[in-house]
Amino acid sequence: MGKKGKGLLILSFLLCTMMLFGCDKEKYEAIDTIHNNIGFKYSGEFVDLSPIEDDLKDNMIFFVGESHGMRENFIIKKEFVLYMKENNNFKYLLSEESPADAYLHNKYLKTGDITIIDDMFKNLEGTFSWNKDSYEFLKWMYEYNQTLPEEDRITYVGSDIVHQFGTGLKVLQEVLNNYEVPDEIKAEVEKINSMKCYDKWIGHENTVKLAGNSKALLEKIEDNKEVYSKKYGEDFVYLHGILKGIVSGIEAYDNENGEFFNFTQYRDKAMYEIFNIYFEHLPEGKYFGQWGDAHAYQNSPTEVKWFATYLNEDQRYKDKIITVQLSYYNSKRMGKKRGGYTKEKYDNFTKINILTTKNYNEKNKLYKLNEEGSVFSKGLNFKFNPYLIPTEGVTTDYVQYFIKIEDAIPTEPLEK
């Protein structure tokens, strides 16, 4: 092929790439403007959340189910935080992160020391969380919290398993060393303190040691929770949760065997168990969290039981949960690939049956599915997830609200 032919080939490739991904500059600038204009008072300009008002009083846990990797998710998250605080005075930001991450988030919210977050994000590279919007959202949360009376400030609750074991080990050591170690657990604590923290991965040999040492300490803690709760005070919830998150995290990864559902069945059960640790120790309050959508389903469309399904089967939380489903049309998201990140098309709206009708097609609108006489409470009229299609029950067994998002753009990875 001659130079001219090669040049045409390169030009064709570039044109195809531009057609596939488009030029996101103008969209990013528009989204930046929305982000910057949100401030610290709910406006409802991006999405009117008032239809959920009737469900605020009698419910305890509020989920928004998202697909990760899109900037609009963070606008909606900000809007919900503001609306829920102003209309429901929710207390706990329920986060798809581990108790170790939540400990660091709350430490940052109290001190404003950005180096705490900088160090944590170093260990998140390669995950969906390693993006500019996640980072900026935390900064926004600190600034917003400062506008609230101290007694009304929001606290992070992280009920996921530990994924970054280096972070988990480091925070576990910090919590343990904030207090004089009781003689009854001194041997287990010394073993944990003897382990070295590495930035991200602690290596297979250390992971095995961490699993054994954490499990031994967890068993002693759970055998005498009342004693250790008094000893570690407000940090006991982190000590107990981090130990559970480490043990469950290693168990989930050990049993993955390349199968997503194998991993999930361990992970989501552990999410429920870790949430119970928080619930039993924290003062009463309402929870709001934005999670990967499947975790927020209150009934299981597959053989795997999801986080919110476990919660809804527990009498303490049953019928006190609201889930808002996000679906995306003609959108792009940040994808992951070996060695880095990419942009990929994303559209799960066109595969949904009833919501493609004109009655449920308006973008950035909160649709109430659980109103009296709704068709969604009478049958499975809404296949809300084309990849996890439910086969029994009614739509509102799974989700109660829906928002359609159009032309979403991808989050951007953090710069090293």
Q: Can you give the pLDDT of all 416 residues of the chain as single tens digits? A: 554 454 444 444 444 444 444 456 777 777 778 787 787 889 888 899 999 999 999 999 999 999 999 999 999 999 999 999 999 999 999 999 999 999 999 999 999 999 999 999 988 888 888 899 999 999 999 999 999 999 999 999 999 999 999 999 999 999 999 999 999 999 999 999 998 876 666 777 888 899 999 999 999 999 999 999 999 999 999 999 999 999 999 999 988 776 777 888 899 999 999 999 999 999 999 999 999 999 999 998 777 899 999 999 999 999 999 999 998 988 999 988 877 888 999 888 765 655 555 567 788 899 999 988 888 888 887 666 666 777 788 889 999 999 989 999 999 998 85
For residue 408, the number of C-alpha atoms closer than 13 Å in the C-beta half-sphere is 35
Please state, in angstroms and rounded to a whole number, the distance separating the CA atoms of residues 57 and 325.
20
| pTM for the whole structure | 0.90
Residue 125: Cβ within 10 Å count: 16
Tokens of 64: 């928004």
Give the other-Cβ count within 10 Å of 374's Cβ.
Answer: 16
**Which burial class, exposed, middle or buried, applies to 157 when counting CB atoms under 10 A from its CB (0-12, 13-18, 19+)?**
buried
> Does an H or E element contain 146, and which?
helix 132-146
Please report the domains of the chain, with CATH numbers, ordered by start residue.
44-90+288-416 (3.40.1660.10)
